[in-house]
Structure 1
C-alpha cells in the first residue's frame, strides 16, 4: 500500500504546486497586446494585432532568461539566425486549411488569422486569456474560426503556458485541415538551445542542446515520431534551461506527431501523418475534416523549467497535466 500511496502524494503535490505558488499574476492591457507578469517579473506578452497571427512574445524563464527567438519581431540581434520569418516566437496555426497556407507568410497567397476579440482575467493564481479569431484567406473568405483559451502561471522556478484551441468550421462549409508537416502548436527557441546541426550551405553549428521525447529518443531522431511529450534543453551561463511541450491525452490522435528540428523549431502537429511516416502514396492520411458548423478541440502545455528532463521532472509534470481533465 505504501508504494502506491507515495506516487499518489507526489502527483497531488505537482497538481497543487503551480496554483499555490503563482498567486501574484498580473495582466496589463494595451491596444495591441496583454502583458503578463508573475511575482512582479515579466513573463510574456500576448500580441493580437499587427501580426499575421496572434503570438506570445517574448517568453521568459523564471529567472528572466529569454526562451524564444527575437527575429523577425526584432532584427539584427547578435547570435541569431534570421531564417524562417514565419517562426514567430510561440504561436498556433496550420499550413493547409481548405488548401490555403496559414503557416507561411509574406505573400498575397497566404492566409491570415485575424483577431476578433480578447478578454482576460486573473483567477486561481493564473492569467486567463480568451481570444476569438477568424482564419481569412487571400480572397477575404473565412475558412475557419477559433476560440483559444490561454492559461499562464508559474512557480519560483518554472513557468507554464496552457493552450486550449477550439477550431470551428463556418456554418456553410466544412473546414479541411490538410496533411502537411507545416504546423501547428509551435515555438521557435533561441539558437543557444540547439544541438549540433547543419545550417545549410555547408555551415555547421556546434550546439550543446538536447532534444528528448518520452521514449528516450534523442535529437534528429525525434522528428516525425509520436510521443506524449518532448523536451528541449541546453546549458547557458552555468545553468541548464528546458522547454517541454505536453500533448493532452484527450486530444484527437493522441499521442501527436512532432515537427521538432535541431535548428530550434519545436512543434506538435496532429495532421502531418503522411509527411512524418513517409506515406508517399497516402497524401491525405493525416487530413481532418471538420463538418460545417462543427468543431474540434486540442490542448497542449508548455513547461519552462531548469535542468534536463530528469532534473526538471518532465515525466512527472506531464502526468500532473494529463490528470487535469
Structure 2
C-alpha cells in the first residue's frame, strides 16, 4: 500500500509543475475583441492544451500518460468557482481522496474485450496492470476559435496493456457562451473498432465528471480526505462539511433516486462560495441506449452510461454492445454550467430539446 501511495503522489506534483511552468508553444485567437472570447494555447512539452476565456485559463485538455486517459481539467463557473474535484491533480483542502482515476471530465468504459479502461491509474500495482487499458492522445486534428466559441478536435487510441490498439477515437470539444452567460461544452466522440470488440454491460462509464466538494450530496460511507494543506489524511471518516448538491433528472427523480435510472438529462444544483450553480449533462437521441442511465453518486461521480443496462436494470435489460472491425459509432453529449441561480426542470427540458435538434 505504501508503494501505491508513493506512486500516486507523484502525479499531482508533476502535473502542477506542468500547468504552471511550461511556456506555451502556440496561441490561437480570432474574432471580435469586444465580444466574449476564447483562446487556445498548445503546450506539447507539458502534454496539455489550455482553453482560455477572456485571457484566463478556463480548462485544459490534459494528456500525460500517467493519467491513463485524456481529460478536461478543471471545470469552473465563469466567476472562477471550481466545479471539479482538485485531487489528485491540484489538491485542495477537505476533498475526498477515493477513486484516484476520477479526474475532471473524461470519456471511457469499464469493459472493452474484458479490459478495464475506467479504473486504471498510477495507484495500480505492477501485478494488476494487465487487467487495464489506457487511452493515449495521438494528434491535434484542428483548432478553431471565433468570438465566443472555440473547438478542439483530437485523435486518441485505446490500447491494451501490451500497447495493442483496440479503438481509434476522434473527439471534438466545442466551447461556447450562451446568451444567458452559460458555459456550454459539447462533446462528440467517434469510436472506430480496429478489431472485433465487445462492450459488455458494465456500470462504469461513459461520459463522466468528478465534481467539487460543494456539489456532492450528503454521503455516509467512510473515506479519507485531504487536510487543510491538501495532503491526504489516512484516517477514514464520514464528513459532509460544505456539501450542498442535489441531483435532478428529466423523469422527475431527485437525490439518490436518480442513480441507476434513465433520463434525457440530469442536473446537479449546489451552492459554491454563495454562488448558486447548476451543472447539467444532456444526452442526445442519436446515442446508443438513449435515454441513458445515470451513474449519479452522492460522493461526487456524475456520469452518463448507456452501456451498463444489465447492471442498472437489475437484469431486466441487456445490451452488450458490439463493434465489428472497421465499424464505428458516435456519442454526443452536452455539459452546461449555469451560475447565479438554479435552473428549473422546464428550462432544462428546453435546453435538452435544443440539443436534440442539433
- TM-score, normalized by length of structure 1? 0.86
> Is residue 105 from structure 1 mapped to residue 120 from structure 2 by the alignment?
yes
Q: Alignment partner for residue 114 of structure 1, among 132, 136, 143?
A: 136
Runs ≥4 residues deviating over 3 A: none
Q: Alignment partner for residue 348 of structure 2, among 314, 320, 323?
A: 314
CA deviation profile, 1:97-125 (whole Å, cap 9, x unmatched): 11000001133221110111013221474
RMSD between superposed Cα atoms in Å: 2.1
> Is residue 138 from structure 1 mapped to residue 169 from structure 2 by the alignment?
no
Superposed counterparts of 1:55-204, under 5 Å? 55-75=71-91, 77-106=92-121, 107=124, 108-109=129-130, 110-119=132-141, 120-123=143-146, 125-155=148-178, 157-170=181-194, 173-200=195-222, 203=238
Name the CA distance, whole Å, in 2 between partners of 1:122 and 1:74: 27
The SS at the match of 1:319 is helix
> Is residue 297 from structure 1 mapped to residue 310 from structure 2 by the alignment?
no
CA deviation profile, 1:134-164 (whole Å, cap 9, x unmatched): 1111122111111111111124732111110
Superposed counterparts of 1:134-283, under 5 Å? 134-155=157-178, 157-170=181-194, 173-200=195-222, 203=238, 205=240, 207-279=243-315
CA deviation profile, 1:153-189 (whole Å, cap 9, x unmatched): 124732111110011101xx21111210011100000
The SS at the match of 1:220 is helix
Unaligned runs of 5+ in 1: 1-20
The SS at the match of 1:79 is coil
8 Å Cα contact 1:41-1:64 kept in structure 2: no
**Match of residue 29 from structure 1:** 42
Name the CA distance, whole Å, in 2 between partners of 1:90 and 1:229: 17
Unaligned runs of 5+ in 2: 1-33, 224-236
8 Å Cα contact 2:202-2:311 kept in structure 1: yes
Name the CA distance, whole Å, in 2 between partners of 1:126 and 1:48: 22
Name the CA distance, whole Å, in 1 between partners of 2:151 and 2:181: 20
Name the CA distance, whole Å, in 1 between partners of 2:271 and 2:263: 24
8 Å Cα contact 1:184-1:268 kept in structure 2: yes
Name the CA distance, whole Å, in 2 between partners of 1:35 and 1:86: 21
Deviation at residue 309 of structure 1 after TM alignment: 2.8
Name the CA distance, whole Å, in 2 between partners of 1:237 and 1:44: 20
The SS at the match of 2:219 is strand
Structure 1 or 2: larger strand share? 1
Name the CA distance, whole Å, in 2 between partners of 1:58 and 1:264: 15
8 Å Cα contact 1:45-1:57 kept in structure 2: yes
The SS at the match of 1:316 is helix
> Is residue 287 from structure 1 mapped to residue 323 from structure 2 by the alignment?
no
